[in-house]
Structure 1
Amino acid sequence: MNLAQRLGYAADDRLVIVNADDYGLCHSTNAAIQKLLTDGVVSSATIMMPCGWAREAALWSARHSHLDIGVHFTFTSEWDSMKWGPINRIGPIDTLVTEEGYFPKDVKSFERQADSEQVRAELEAQVRMALRLGVRLTHADNHMGSLYGLQTGRHFLNETLDVCAKYGLPFRLPRNLLMENGQVAPAELAQQARKHAEAADARGVVVLDYLLGLPFRGGQNDTFEMLKSQMIALLSNLHAGVSEIIIHPSLVTDELRAFHDSPLRRGMELDLFRDRDIQETIRREGILPIRWRELQDLQRGAK
């Protein structure tokens, strides 16, 4: 039984959640994501609670509690000109930070050095801060995939799923792993994904059938038409079940340009799901947009 059936849909229905990642990264990103949320262009967004503009994002979200907002578990700080570090202030954090006190720049460094109990404490701290600011959290996911063990094989999914179970949050974890071209992953990787999904099942944490997105790092010559074509192809080839598509939208401003190496790409992603051709593709393909809140209701026993 796929997740669509568990939610009360037909087995062959194709359901999609569109999530705006990196909410709270900066004011320009906040303004863009808030516009997409209020216009109903995206299903949800997830806040990077350690970032400097997370408070603005959280307070706005608390005032708009009908919208689906999650926590974007953050353990890396990838930009050279803007940095952030742990929220936890009541326990050790030494294995989570560089000598400067920030999160490491890359996932591999984090995987190699992080202590699992310090990770668990920071996961809880990020959830609790969002809740203290009044956010009605509907789900959780992970910035840069730092918790999945993608670089060294050393993952922190047990700690993550424990925290998600404690706070009633479904988690961005695909039961069926796909490659960037949308094809099913090799058998060994696919088996690992299923094993992690079974660990989520054992804790009662609801996870996705599929996770999709455009290649994160595009080329310098990328155009909006190129991205749109890629997204239309992705939508046209959705599998039955629940898929999440992730985007990273932002207004392109001096603020964003000051630290980001691909600001125009983020501006293009802002416009993707507002584009008529993409909206028409969703209608023509019979794709059903849903919200993380439906998954949370299932997890909490409301369905």
Structure 2
Amino acid sequence: MNVAQALGYSADDRLFIVNADDYGLCHSTNTGIQKLLIDGVISSATLMMPCSWAREAALWSARHAHMDVGVHFTFTSEWDMMKWGPVNRHGAIDTLVTHEGYFPKDVKSFERQADPEQVRGELEAQVRMAITLGVGLTHADNHMGSLYGLQTGRHFLNETLDVCAKYGLPFRLPRNLLLENGQVAPAELAEQARKHAEAADAKGVVVLDYLLGLPFRSEGNDTFDMYKSQMIALLGNLHAGVSEIIIHPSFVTDELRAFHDAPARRGMELELFRDPDIQETIRKESLIPVRWRQLRDLQRGLMIP
């Protein structure tokens, strides 16, 4: 029985979740994501606990406990004008930071230098901070894919899955790997994804069937119509099972422009799932929205002796 069937759907149903990443990044991002959550435009969001505006986002989420909010495990700090570092105050963190005390800017540097046990400690610290602030976490995922070993092959999924199992959190890990164009990945990469998913199964952590999003690389002349066309194509090609679609929405303000190199894109992603053509595509394709909360409840139910 696959996850869709365990949730009460048929094996042929196409289920989807829309998650807003980078919640807590800044005030403009927080207010944009909160608007989408309130309006029911997105399914969920994930919190970057090391960021300076995470507390605002967490306290709001605690007051809106019916919203699905997870933790966006963060180990990189990519912007030159705004930085963050570990939240762990009770353990070693020296392999997780640069000489300035911040997380590395890029994933490759993190993968090369991080000690797995220090990663484990920081994973737990980020979860505990969210819980301490009152967030009823529904799931977990990973900022910039730093835990997957995508750059050097040195992954931290064992530690991540242990922490997710301990706190009863499903994790953003696709059982079936797709390329950016939606096609199935080469056999070697696909086999790696299946093995990671089997490791999650063994630890009782519920994972996705597919993970999708718009291309991360910007051509510099992107338009809303371009993004809309790409999203409509993505939705039209969803496979049977549970897919998560990642977006990075934000209000575009002076605050965002002060550090972000593509603020307009975040503003366009704020509007994507409000668009009537995208909503019509969802209806026409008979896609079924589900929530991370359902996957969390499934996982916690499976963990009962």
TM-score by length of structure 2 reads 0.98
Q: Give the distance between the partners of 1:271 and 1:216, measured in 2 at CA.
A: 17
Question: Is 1:10 aligned to residue 10 of structure 2?
Answer: yes
Equivalent residue for 1:181? 181
Equivalent residue for 1:147? 147
Q: Could you tell me how far 1:302 is from its partner in structure 2?
A: 7.0
CA shift digits 1:86-114 (9 cap, x unpaired): 00011110000000000000000000000
Q: Give the distance between the partners of 1:12 and 1:2, measured in 2 at CA.
A: 11
Q: Could you tell me how far 1:43 is from its partner in structure 2?
A: 0.2
1:107-256 matched pairs, under 5 angstroms: 107-256=107-256
Partner of 1:185: helix, strand, or coil?
A: coil
Contact 2:49/2:72, CA 8 A, preserved across alignment: yes
Q: Give the distance between the partners of 1:70 and 1:91, measured in 2 at CA.
A: 23
Q: Give the distance between the partners of 1:300 and 1:201, measured in 2 at CA.
A: 13
1:8-157 matched pairs, under 5 angstroms: 8-157=8-157
Q: Give the distance between the partners of 1:91 and 1:60, measured in 2 at CA.
A: 29
CA shift digits 1:136-168 (9 cap, x unpaired): 000000000000000000000000000000000
Q: Which ranges of 4 or more aligned residues in structure 1 deviate by more than 2 Å?
A: none
Equivalent residue for 1:290? 290
Q: Which runs of 5+ in 2 are unaligned?
A: none
TM-score by length of structure 1 reads 0.99
1:273-288 matched pairs, under 5 angstroms: 273-288=273-288
1:259-274 matched pairs, under 5 angstroms: 259-274=259-274
Partner of 1:137: helix, strand, or coil?
A: coil
Q: Could you tell me how far 1:76 is from its partner in structure 2?
A: 0.1
Aligned-pair identity (%): 85
Partner of 1:62: helix, strand, or coil?
A: helix
Q: Give the distance between the partners of 1:181 and 1:54, measured in 2 at CA.
A: 33
Q: Give the distance between the partners of 1:93 and 1:218, measured in 2 at CA.
A: 33
Contact 2:170/2:299, CA 8 A, preserved across alignment: yes
Equivalent residue for 1:258? 258
Contact 2:171/2:207, CA 8 A, preserved across alignment: yes
Q: Give the distance between the partners of 1:31 and 1:4, measured in 2 at CA.
A: 32
Q: Give the distance between the partners of 2:2 and 2:233, measured in 1 at CA.
A: 23
Q: Give the distance between the partners of 1:203 and 1:123, measured in 2 at CA.
A: 17
Q: Give the distance between the partners of 1:137 and 1:3, measured in 2 at CA.
A: 20
Q: Which runs of 5+ in 1 are unaligned?
A: none
Amino acid at match of 1:23: Y
Contact 2:204/2:302, CA 8 A, preserved across alignment: no
Q: Could you tell me how far 1:6 is from its partner in structure 2?
A: 1.7
Amino acid at match of 2:220: Q
Q: Could you tell me how far 1:217 is from its partner in structure 2?
A: 2.1
Amino acid at match of 2:146: S
CA shift digits 1:282-303 (9 cap, x unpaired): 0000000010000001101179
Amino acid at match of 1:209: D
